[in-house]
Amino acid sequence: MGIITRGAERKGGKELQYIASLSYGKDSIAMLEVIKQHNMPLDRIVHVEIMATDTIPADLPPMMEFKKKADKIIKERYGIEVEHIHNKETYEHHFYRRYMRGKRVGLIYGFPSIRAPWCNSDVKIPELKKLNRNNIAYIGIAADEPNRFHNLTERKISPLVECGVSETEARKICEELDLLSPIYAHSARGGCWFCHNQPIAQLHLLRKQYPEYWALMLKWDNDSPVTFKPNGTTVHDFEQRFAFEDAQITLFEKEENT
Ligand code: SF4
């Protein structure tokens, strides 16, 4: 693949727009810089805002703060206002939807599955699909992530792949621009605070730092007809484990101080 030039700007009489999809992770932010450095066309920058409930965003408070800061820098540096697209449907709303047919008719959906997560297909992707129809989408996939290349098409382009920018280089670009998301201080991945894919250490941190969100996870766990993890582990199992581990640490600290 070569560097993108403005070639196919009109499709069916309509002007194509080049739209960068921003997650605020290192790859999508570095992608904006690569677009600028290589004079690639860019018309809009969009971010799909996922809500956990009607009032709680899917991102943790430090991430929400970072987004505000990043929006300001992006506007100044690239001259484009980030558009925040709000999906009216929340994660919780979808969680409590009921199957209308099939083996599970009448049951609520509960936690998404790992292989076909409805949170992605039903909450996040539809908004992006609507937007990217008849446009060119830029997505943040790094040059050393070949397992994600199947997502790329003629109309779904990765500037990082086009320009051979790796994940490490993407991180460096963000650091230099003071645009590295706070999620990298504690983990390698971002995503929703209730995500079933997150590492155990991240769940433990959630319980410690955001007990009110953890309480919501426990409530959902009570109601879900499927377990949080596909191996049968529930949020309550993690609750027991974390409570035990924290008690051990407290005991150890007490013994150390006596
Ligand atoms: S980060 Fe996790 S919970 Fe959020 S949309 Fe992606 S898969 Fe679903």
CA pseudo-torsion sign 218, 222, 224, 228 = positive
The model's confidence at residue 53, banded by pLDDT at 50, 70 and 90, is very high
Cα(120) to centroid of ligand 1, in Å? 6
pTM: 0.85
Mean pLDDT, residues 74-80 taken together: 97
- More confident position, 65 or 191: 65
Cα(10) to centroid of ligand 1, in Å? 34
> Which ligand 1 atom minimizes the distance to the CA of 198?
2
Whether the pLDDT of residue 186 is over 70: the answer is no
**Any ligand 1 atom below 6 A from CB of 47:** no
Quote the CA–CA distance of 92 and 220 in Å, as a whole number: 9
pLDDT of residue 195: 94
State the DSSP string of 153-211.
-SSEE-HHHHTT--HHHHHHHHHHTT---GGGGT-S----TT-TTS-HHHHHHHHHH-H
Mean pLDDT, residues 225-254 taken together: 91
CATH level 3 topology of 10-187: Rossmann fold (3.40.50)
Tell me the CA distances in angstroms from 34 to 42, 158, 162, one per residue in order.
11, 10, 10
The residues of the chain that CATH labels 3.40.50.620 are 10-187
Whether the pLDDT of residue 62 is over 90: the answer is yes
Give nearest CA residue, ligand 1 atom 8: 119
pLDDT mean across residues, the chain = 90
Mean pLDDT, residues 176-190 taken together: 81
Whether the pLDDT of residue 1 is over 60: the answer is no
